Structures are given as C-alpha cells and as structure tokens.
Amino acid sequence: MTAAAMTERPAPYVQPTQYKLSAAGLLGSEWTKLWSLRSTWIVLLCAVVFSAGLGALISGTVPTDLEIGGAETAVGFAMSGVGLSSVFVSVLGILVITGEYSTGSIRSTMSAAPKRLGVLWAKAAVFGAVVTVLFTVMVFATFFLSQALLDGTDLGGISLGDEGVTRALVGYVAMIVYLTLLAIAIGAILRNSAGSIGFYIGVIMILPQLATLLPWDWVSDVTPYAPGNAANTITYVDASGQALGVGESWLWMGVWLVVAYGVAGLLLKRRDM
Amino acid sequence: MNGRPADRTVVCMIEIEHLTKRYGKKTAVDDLTFNVKPGVVTGFLGPNGAGKSTTMRAVVGLDAPTSGLARVNGKHYSEFRSPLTEVGALLEAKSVHAGRSAYNHLLALARTHGIPKRRVQEVIDLVGLHEVAGKRVGGFSLGMGQRLGIAVALLGDPAVLILDEPVNGLDPDGVKWIRVLLKGLAAEGRTVFLSSHLMSELAQTAEHLIVIGQGRLLADTTVDDFVSGNGQARVRVVSPDAARLAEHLAGPGVSIASPEKGVLEVSGTEAAVVGQTAAAHGLVLHELRTDRGSLEDAFMQLTADAVEYRQTTEGASR
C-alpha cells in the first residue's frame, strides 16, 4: 500500500439537503402514529357507541307521564352517555404519549425532533382536533336522536334555537376537548400509563366529587375551581345557578391547561429520555 | 470533492469533550474526551455498563450531560434543522411501538422531515424487511427489530451513523451483511460509530477504536496498534542453544520464560532482535515466531485495570 493510499480518506459525505424538520411534518407524523394503532380505532368506536347509545337508550325509555320537562333536563338526558365516553377519549389521550414511553418509541420520536416541545404541541393539536371533530358530530347527532325519541313527552320539542341549548351543546364538546388535552398533559408529566390513568380518574374526576362530602366549608368553596370541575358550568342550558359563571368556567379551563402544559413542557425539556 | 474546501477533509464529525454523566450517585461517564472522524468505521469498545450507550444517547440529545459537551460537526444535536439527515441512530433495538407496523413506524419518522414514502420503501428493502413491513412490530424477532432500527438510522441518508450494538440478535448472515454495509457507508465518506462488547466483531469491522471502561477513556487508537500495543506480543524461539540464547537476550524490560526444554517465550523485545542476537553469537535457531495477542487479550488486559480500580475505590468508601 502506498503512503498516499494510507493517508487519503474519502471526501466527507454530503447528506441530502431537501429534507427539513417542520411543524407541519410533526403534525403529519402524529397523524400517522395515531391512526396506525388499532387501539385508536377501538377506543374511538367505543366512545361513539356509548355516547350515542346511552343517550338514545335513556331518551327512548323515558315514561310518557314523567312530570318533569324543560331544556335542561332534555339536554342532560341526551348527553348522559357523553360523560362516559369522555373517559374513553381521555384515556386514549394519555396513551398517545405514555404509550411512547412504555414502548421506547419516544427515543425514536425525540431523536427526530430533538427540541422536543414540538412533539408535545403536535400530539395535543392532532388528538385535540380529532376529538373536536368527532364529538361535535356526536354531540349534535345524539341531541337530534334524543329529541326524536323524546317527541311527544314533556322533554320533546326542544330546538337548537332555544335559549342556551346550542351553547350547552357546544359546552359539552368543549368540556371533552378540555379534559382530553388535560389528560395528554398529565400523560406527558407522569410518563407512565397506569399512573397517569389512575391520577386522571382518581384525582381529576373522582376526588372533586368526594371532596364535597368533607365537613369543611372551604373545601366546597374551592372544588368548583378544580381542574375536573372547571368545565361543568358551560354544559348547563341555564348556568345562572352555578358556582362559576360561564366566563369564569372558560377562564379556569384556560388556567389549568396553561399550568398543565407549562409543567409538561418544562419537564419534557429537562428530563432524559 | 463535493465542492467542499480541501481542509474540511480532516474535520471531526463527533466530538466528545470532557463529557460527564451522573445518574444520581452513579457516574456513568467520567470526563470522557475523544473525536470520531469520517471515512472510517470507528468502534466503541467497553464492557457492559462502561458508559457506551450513555455517551451515544448524549450525542443525539436524549440524555443531557451533567457536564461537558457532545457535538456533531461542531453543533449540539438539537441545533440541527434536519436532525435525521445529520445523524442516524440505532440506540435500543426496540425503540418502536409494538402495536405499529414497521412501515408505519418509518413513515411517521419520515413525515417529520418531509422524507417521501419512496425512501421509506427503499430502506425497508435495503434491510430486507419487505415481507414483514406491514406486520406489527410486537411480533418481530430481535434480529428483525435490529434491522428495523438500522432502517430508521438510514432513513435520512445521514452523514453520521451511531449504532449501539447493531449486531446483537443478528444471525451470521445478518452480521456479515451489516459488516459490509457499514464499511461501504464509511467508504462513502460518512462517519460510522458503532459500539460493541464483542471485541472480535469490532476487529473485523472497525479501523479505529475508542475503548472505555468505568466511563473513562482507556484507549483511542487504531485496531492494529491496539492489539500490538496491549496484546502481549511474544516471541517464541526454538533453539538447541536455548539456555545460552536466554543469557544473551536478558536485559531490562525483557522477560523470558521456558515452558519446555529448548523453547523460549520472550516478551519485551522483537523477533528481529532475537534473530540478530542469535546470529551475533553463532547460535542455531529452529523456530522464530511472533505470537500476536488477540483483541480479546488486549481488551482484557486493558480493562482489568479499570475493574481493579473500581473494586479498590468501593472497598475504600466502605
């Protein structure tokens, strides 16, 4: 071997330059990830079946001589399944992020997007958008289905034009989207599927309800502001009797999302993957 | 020359400077400094737990160093606008959601950078996964998982490849395949950095070696120098005048053993010196041979010190 051949290295390789990491790319990537898992289809199908099915079942079995009426009750009956399906989508929201940690795919994801935060925003945006679209359709479809079944009872004859009805239905959609986004942030903070689901159901959903049983007044004063309760007001046709006003309800939803995503983002930046 | 100035040919693609990483009280990497150059395959050798994976994770920004720097081409990994075309990494084989197909895993990563589906198909074919690309990764064997990990690393056609134990779980055909693949990639001018605790594997693939033990740098050298420098090269001599030859060879730094009558094993000198000494004194030689130590020997000798070091410090702290 000649001296020249021994010292000569190949010229440095020049990598392709047409590919760039982008926000649109991250959104597309999360879209692909979401729909390429069987669990997404199963859970969303369950959510649809329960919200429409339960609403229809309850509306269809109302006795004709029931002595109650009004838009508030009618909407409440129609939406009875929606609360249950919000649990399904929240759990799926948690799994969207904790599934990456439990399987190790988070390392592939973060190697492709080393600034990390874009991944969190993309996950929240993609799943939030899917839930918004799906539940806008579900909530309004279930309402019309319910009204068709309630026709002829005291709960029938409610229309979207009645005062507060459309706002309450939009409120249901917003509540589910809010709870889903909150669940994603909790998943990002705790990184563990079982822990995140336990925390979400125990602390966010059940604890505020149990807390009202405690003997101290201040607890009942505080619970309406809790993350799991903040969205309640906007689902009422007549919200005047609620502890939080409609505006306050929106405000506190925003506050909790900012807090949750602030903590999630900070930890995502700081922790090792 | 790809339009680059000539002085760029000596650029160091991966630079590790005083890298230290502690997990709680445990120090995984301890003030590690080395460079990895393009154009050759560089092996990263060390026993399990030596800090190889930690160092590689620091390069692609998954673990933040406690102190020190890990840079690629002068930049921190997170500064790159297209990380996948700069560095392709295989870190742990199963960095994939078990419920997703190999194709969709690659597609999801490709979409972040706007890499087309055509390229996804290309890397699937390249690593030989086309028959199972649509199947869920949960059912993959370790070897198939490794091939998928290699496909991920190659997806962006990157200038730097970082592969943590790529031959783990591969069958002999796969091992041969990856050896040829990596040498080819290095010959294109890419930087190829692969870790292994299998010294024999690196001896056949790598040209340059970084050896670490207990998170510290033990050697930064070529494979050839590493073996000859650490591998107790011995000269074996068979001579009817062995006893007299031994007297003449004796000197500072030279040790001589005689495993059987008429046979000498001399270390600390070279065959040429032994031959000249014999000629100068008119002694007959029947055999004169240099026994090179294997890479394994060299590695064991080098890391023995690191292991001893740990044991003494642990003993002292109790």
Contact A147, A74 (CB under 8 A): yes
Does A251 lie at the interface with B, CB-CB under 8 angstroms? no
Region A59-78 average pLDDT: 79
Nearest residue, CB atoms, B77 vs list A12, A99, A114: A114
Pairwise CA distance, residues B192 & B38, whole Å: 7
Structure tokens at A236: 């009422």
Is residue A3 very low, low, confident or very high in pLDDT (cuts 50, 70, 90)?
very low
pTM tops 0.90: no
The ranges assigned to domains in chain A are: 24-270
Is residue B306 very low, low, confident or very high in pLDDT (cuts 50, 70, 90)?
low
Q: Which of A20-29, A54-63, B59-68 has the lowest mean pLDDT?
A: A54-63
Asked whether the beta carbons of residue A113 and residue B157 sit closer than 8 angstroms, the reply is: no
Does A40 lie at the interface with B, CB-CB under 8 angstroms? no
Does A103 lie at the interface with B, CB-CB under 8 angstroms? yes
Contact B90, B162 (CB under 8 A): yes
pLDDT, residue B100, reads 94
Does the pLDDT at position A47 exceed 60?
yes
Does the pLDDT at position A40 exceed 80?
yes
The CA distance from B172 to the nearest CA of chain A, in Å, is 27
Nearest residue, CB atoms, A36 vs list B78, B84, B101: B101
Give tens-digit pLDDT for A128-163. 999 999 999 999 999 999 888 888 777 878 888 888
Query: What percent of chain B clears pLDDT 70, i.e. is strictly above it?
Result: 86
Give tens-digit pLDDT for A234-247. 999 888 888 888 99
Sheet of B255-257, strands arranged across? B255-257, B263-267, B234-238, B287-291
Does the pLDDT at position A71 exceed 70?
yes
Q: Which of A143-152, A180-189, B23-32 has the lowest mean pLDDT?
A: A143-152
Query: Is pLDDT larger for residue B258 or for residue A192?
Result: A192
Does the pLDDT at position B88 exceed 60?
yes
Domains, in order of start, for chain B = 6-228 (3.40.50.300), 234-291 (3.30.70)
* CB-CB neighbors (< 8 A) of A12 in chain B: 2, 4, 8-9, 11, 13, 38-39, 159, 189
pLDDT, residue A241, reads 82
pLDDT, residue B273, reads 87
Give tens-digit pLDDT for B103-162. 999 999 999 999 999 999 999 999 999 999 999 999 999 889 999 999 999 999 999 999
- Mutation choice for A interface testing from B56, B79, B97 by most A CBs within 10 A: B97
Chain B stretch 16-75, residues whose beta carbon is closer than 8 A to a beta carbon of chain A: 37-40, 57, 60-64
Which neighbouring-strand residues pair with B191?
B160
Contact A189, A227 (CB under 8 A): no
Contact B43, B191 (CB under 8 A): no
Query: What percent of chain A clears pLDDT 70, i.e. is strictly above it?
Result: 95
* CB-CB neighbors (< 8 A) of A100 in chain B: 97
The SS3 call for residue B27 is strand
Give the residue from B220, B196, B197, B226 showing the smallest Cα distance to B292. B226
* CB-CB neighbors (< 8 A) of B40 in chain A: 9
What long-range pairs does A54-61 form, CB within 8 A, spacing at least 24? A54/A80, A54/A81, A54/A84, A55/A79, A55/A80, A55/A81, A55/A82, A55/A142, A55/A145, A55/A146, A56/A142, A56/A145, A56/A146, A56/A149, A57/A81, A59/A145, A59/A146, A59/A147, A59/A149, A59/A150, A59/A155, A60/A149
Q: Which of A121-135, B32-46, B234-248 has the lowest mean pLDDT?
A: B234-248
Does the pLDDT at position B49 exceed 90?
no
Does the pLDDT at position A36 exceed 50?
yes
* CB-CB neighbors (< 8 A) of A113 in chain B: 83, 112
Nearest residue, CB atoms, B62 vs list A28, A31, A111: A111
